Chains A and B, each alone.
Chain A
């Protein structure tokens, strides 16, 4: 008898994640009476990010100086290939443009990956979860809803760690998570918001960022070395260094590289130190220490090597939103006095799943 009753729950209404590809699932979900096309989750994403290619590319609201970064790299490398390489191939070896080319491609790919991937954005708490956090039971046993305390202490491997409450995302931030005000998202293992790449650097794109700055240091040093060699060879064979400098447009990469190589090398060195000591830039400058929360220094969980092995996004940008007349019309048993209607709509739309696996989530029916 009991089983018969529960068969009335429509499996379609139950938000179990299915591995079907988004387009097909979207067509299934699009009800006949729904004239509008099914919207993708990125269209209602509450943070300040921008999306391109139908949700495949995610960037911060302000692209910062990413065009400048790209421009400098392209111009410097272009000038190097056009003016210095022919001379060096003739006088030295033809491996030079090959090495330069490989480094250049590495730098470009990792830069684009750093800028266009999700840095580790945590999906915001759903209204139900937010209400659950805010629910506090007082002495008489009556439940009331008050803003939760700003911090919560947890014991992580016998070390006391304070978890802060994020008023925007309505959740207690997991350890090492920080809220980026520029992107308006909580980012896991938040390192910093990098204007040069126009995106936050966090858990999921740190390895792209690290590879980018290391390969950029190699590229800059390589170009610097090659251009210096070129000019030195020209100066020897010709009328002196000054003439060589004036004559060749290859001097421009030299200038750019000279000024940037020190800061880039410095940054690479700094981040290598951070990786080795399992810190983020944010933690390096803040007072709370997370060293040792995963056991002693010899524990493998402490090694930042993990960050190079982690590759998935928790926000499903391309998943489809559940249709308006979603079968799960949440009954009004749970009161949400602290949430304004507008943010409720946004938070409802922010039900995310693993990338490429669409999963409609029970939501109040006012999402559209």
Chain B
């Protein structure tokens, strides 16, 4: 039968409001992860996420054109088209899955996509470290 790992704790990375209300997360390394993962690795993950969210919220010419087109069509254009923001959110979901598969799952950690928590926190679940018990 499948053996399920027990959850030891959950760490919540809060939002970083120091440069405004844009979606950014704090890169401060939580103490609970000290013996699980490199500080460098963790910071790289959070920074990559922050960069992607910044890209999503960027007001470029594409967003303006999208917005104007949407306004003229009474926003019905979104029935067939995805917004720039939604595209980046999909990219972020894929990135998190990749990170989980390659880096976090082997260390008994799991990143939860912040969109599931309303872009408020990055939830990191810490699983029981079986290698210590066996």
Query: What is A's interface to B at a CB cutoff of 8 Å?
Result: 1-3, 5-6, 8-11, 13-19, 105-106, 109-110, 113, 122-123, 125-126, 128-129, 132, 154-157, 161, 171, 174-176, 207-208, 211, 215, 293-295, 300-301, 305-306, 308-312, 314, 327-331, 333-334, 351-354, 357, 359, 361-362
A211 close to B67 (CB less than 8 A): no
Distance, CA A294 to CA B128, complexed state (A): 41
The residue in A6, A11, A353 that gathers the most chain B C-beta atoms within 10 A of its C-beta is A6
Q: A175-B21, A305-B59 known; 6 other A-B pairs, CB under 8 Å?
A: A6-B105, A123-B118, A300-B59, A311-B85, A328-B7, A361-B116
* Those 3 A-B pairs whose CB atoms lie nearest each other, nearest first: A294-B20, A331-B6, A5-B130
B21 close to A334 (CB less than 8 A): no
B100 close to A16 (CB less than 8 A): yes
A115, chain B: closest CB distance, angstroms: 13
Given B20, B71, B112, which contacts A15 in the complex, CB threshold below 8 Å? B112
B117 close to A14 (CB less than 8 A): no
- Interface size for B (C-beta < 8 A) is 61
The residue in A9, A155, A300, A327 that gathers the most chain B C-beta atoms within 10 A of its C-beta is A9
B23, chain A: closest CB distance, angstroms: 10
B33 partner residues in chain A, CB cutoff 8 A? none
19 pairs, A vs B, C-beta closer than 8 Å:
A10-B4, A15-B112, A106-B74, A110-B75, A128-B123, A129-B117, A132-B10, A156-B20, A156-B21, A208-B75, A295-B20, A309-B85, A314-B115, A329-B4, A330-B7, A333-B7, A333-B8, A353-B116, A354-B116
A151, chain B: closest CB distance, angstroms: 15
Interface SS of chain A: loop
B130 close to A6 (CB less than 8 A): yes
- Asked whether A171 and B74 contact (CB < 8 A) given A19-B93, A155-B18, the answer is no
In this assembly, does B45 line the interface, its C-beta being within 8 Å of a C-beta of chain A?
no
B67 partner residues in chain A, CB cutoff 8 A? 305, 308-309
CB 8 Å contact bits of B73-95 with A (1 = contact, 0 = none): 01110100001011001100110
B57, chain A: closest CB distance, angstroms: 8
B78 partner residues in chain A, CB cutoff 8 A? 311
Distance, CA A10 to CA B110, complexed state (A): 12
Distance, CA A11 to CA B8, complexed state (A): 18
B15 partner residues in chain A, CB cutoff 8 A? 174
B116 partner residues in chain A, CB cutoff 8 A? 17, 123, 351-354, 359, 361
B117 close to A207 (CB less than 8 A): no
CB-contacts of B1-15 with A (<8 A): 2-10, 12, 15
Distance, CA A314 to CA B114, complexed state (A): 10
Distance, CA A128 to CA B86, complexed state (A): 27
A334 close to B9 (CB less than 8 A): yes
A364, chain B: closest CB distance, angstroms: 10
Closest to B123 in A: A129
A357 partner residues in chain B, CB cutoff 8 A? 90, 93
A128 partner residues in chain B, CB cutoff 8 A? 10, 123
In this assembly, does B42 line the interface, its C-beta being within 8 Å of a C-beta of chain A?
no
A171 partner residues in chain B, CB cutoff 8 A? 120
A132 close to B112 (CB less than 8 A): no
Given B94, B107, B120, which contacts A122 in the complex, CB threshold below 8 Å? B120
Distance, CA A155 to CA B18, complexed state (A): 6
B6 close to A211 (CB less than 8 A): no
B5 partner residues in chain A, CB cutoff 8 A? 6, 8-9
A175 close to B110 (CB less than 8 A): no
In this assembly, does B52 line the interface, its C-beta being within 8 Å of a C-beta of chain A?
no
In this assembly, does B19 line the interface, its C-beta being within 8 Å of a C-beta of chain A?
yes
A19, chain B: closest CB distance, angstroms: 6
B76, chain A: closest CB distance, angstroms: 6
B75 close to A156 (CB less than 8 A): no
A13 partner residues in chain B, CB cutoff 8 A? 2, 4
- Asked whether A9 and B83 contact (CB < 8 A) given A17-B97, A301-B21, A327-B4, the answer is no
